[in-house]
Structure 1
Amino acid sequence: MGNKISILIPVYNEEKTLHMLYERLKRVSEKMDYDFEFLFINDGSKDRSLDIMRELRQKDSRVSYLNLSRNYGKEIAMAAGFDYVVGDAIIIMDADLQDPPELIPRMVSYWEEGYDDVYAKRRNRAGESWFKKKTSYWFYRILKKLSKIEIQEDTGDFRLLSRRAVEAIKKIKEHHRYTKGFFSWIGFNKKEILFDREPRAAGKTKWNYYKLLELAVEGIISFSAAPLRISTVIGFMIAMFSFIYMIYVIMKTLLFGDPVAGYPSLVSLILFLSGIQFIILGVIGEYLGRVFNETKNRPLYFAEEYNNKKIM
Structure 2
Amino acid sequence: MNENQGNHAMALAPSLDLSIVIPCYNEAENLRPLTAEITAALQDQNLAYEIIYIDDGSTDESFEIIRQLYQEDHHVVGIRFRRNHGQTAAFAAGFNHARGRYILTMDADRQNDPADIPTLLTKIQEGYDVVNGWRHNRQDAFLLRKVPSYIANRLIARLSHVPLRDRGCSLRIFRAEVVRDLKLYGELHRFIPEMVNFAGFSMAEVPVNHRPRVAGRSKYGLSRTFRVLLDLVTVLFLRKYSDRPMHFFGSLGILASGSGGLIGLYLALLKIWAGIQGGWDGFRSMRIGERPLLLLAILLIIIGIQFLSMGLIAELIVRTYYESQNKTVYYIKETIGYSNHTSDQIQPSTVSATGENKS
TM normalised by structure 2 equals 0.61
State the alpha-carbon separation in 2 of the partners of residues 239 and 272 from structure 1.
Answer: 6
List aligned pairs for 1:209-224, cutoff 5 A: 209=225, 211-213=227-229, 215-224=231-240
Aligned to 2:218: 204
Aligned to 1:252: 270
One-letter amino acid of the structure 1 residue matched with residue 217 of structure 2: G
Query: Are 1:239 and 2:261 matched, yes or no?
Result: no
State the alpha-carbon separation in 2 of the partners of residues 94 and 71 from structure 1.
Answer: 16
* 1:249-295 CA-partner distances (Å, limit 9, x unpaired): 22223323455385666667777888888889889999988889999
- Look at both structures and tell me which one has the larger radius of gyration over its CA atoms: 2
The answer to whether the 8 Å contact 2:260/2:298 transfers is: no
Aligned to 1:22: 35
Partner residue of 2:150 out of 113, 133, 146 = 133
Aligned to 2:179: 169
The answer to whether the 8 Å contact 2:113/2:211 transfers is: yes
| Unaligned ranges ≥5, structure 1 | 145-149, 298-305
List aligned pairs for 1:106-117, cutoff 5 A: 106-117=119-130
The answer to whether the 8 Å contact 2:77/2:356 transfers is: no
TM normalised by structure 1 equals 0.68
Query: Are 1:105 and 2:121 matched, yes or no?
Result: no
| Unaligned ranges ≥5, structure 2 | 1-15, 275-281, 326-353
State the alpha-carbon separation in 2 of the partners of residues 35 and 140 from structure 1.
Answer: 36
CA-atom RMSD, angstroms? 4.4
Aligned to 2:328: none
| Deviation for aligned residue 1:120 | 2.0
Q: 1:199 to 1:309 in 2, by over 3 A?
A: closer
State the alpha-carbon separation in 2 of the partners of residues 287 and 154 from structure 1.
Answer: 35
One-letter amino acid of the structure 1 residue matched with residue 151 of structure 2: K
Q: 1:72 to 1:280 in 2, by over 3 A?
A: farther
State the alpha-carbon separation in 2 of the partners of residues 159 and 6 from structure 1.
Answer: 12
The answer to whether the 8 Å contact 2:92/2:184 transfers is: no
Q: 1:73 to 1:224 in 2, by over 3 A?
A: farther
State the alpha-carbon separation in 2 of the partners of residues 250 and 101 from structure 1.
Answer: 72
Q: 1:190 to 1:212 in 2, by over 3 A?
A: closer
Please state which structure has a larger fraction of its residues in strand.
Answer: 1
Aligned to 2:197: 184
| Deviation for aligned residue 1:225 | 0.3
One-letter amino acid of the structure 2 residue matched with residue 139 of structure 1: I
The answer to whether the 8 Å contact 1:176/1:218 transfers is: no
State the alpha-carbon separation in 2 of the partners of residues 289 and 197 from structure 1.
Answer: 44
State the alpha-carbon separation in 1 of the partners of residues 150 and 82 from structure 2.
Answer: 33
One-letter amino acid of the structure 2 residue matched with residue 252 of structure 1: L
Aligned to 2:334: none
For the residue of structure 2 that corresponds to 1:64, the secondary structure is strand
The answer to whether the 8 Å contact 1:169/1:186 transfers is: no
State the alpha-carbon separation in 2 of the partners of residues 24 and 290 from structure 1.
Answer: 46
List aligned pairs for 1:255-266, cutoff 5 A: 255-256=273-274, 257=282, 258-260=286-288, 262=290
| Deviation for aligned residue 1:104 | 1.0
* 1:117-144 CA-partner distances (Å, limit 9, x unpaired): 3222455764415345323432343234
State the alpha-carbon separation in 1 of the partners of residues 290 and 86 from structure 2.
Answer: 53
| Deviation for aligned residue 1:166 | 0.7
| Higher mean C-alpha deviation, range 258-267 or range 51-60 | 258-267
For the residue of structure 2 that corresponds to 1:224, the secondary structure is helix
* 1:106-126 CA-partner distances (Å, limit 9, x unpaired): 112224445443222455764
Q: 1:211 to 1:251 in 2, by over 3 A?
A: closer
State the alpha-carbon separation in 1 of the partners of residues 17 and 246 from structure 2.
Answer: 45
Identical columns (%): 24
| Deviation for aligned residue 1:199 | 6.0
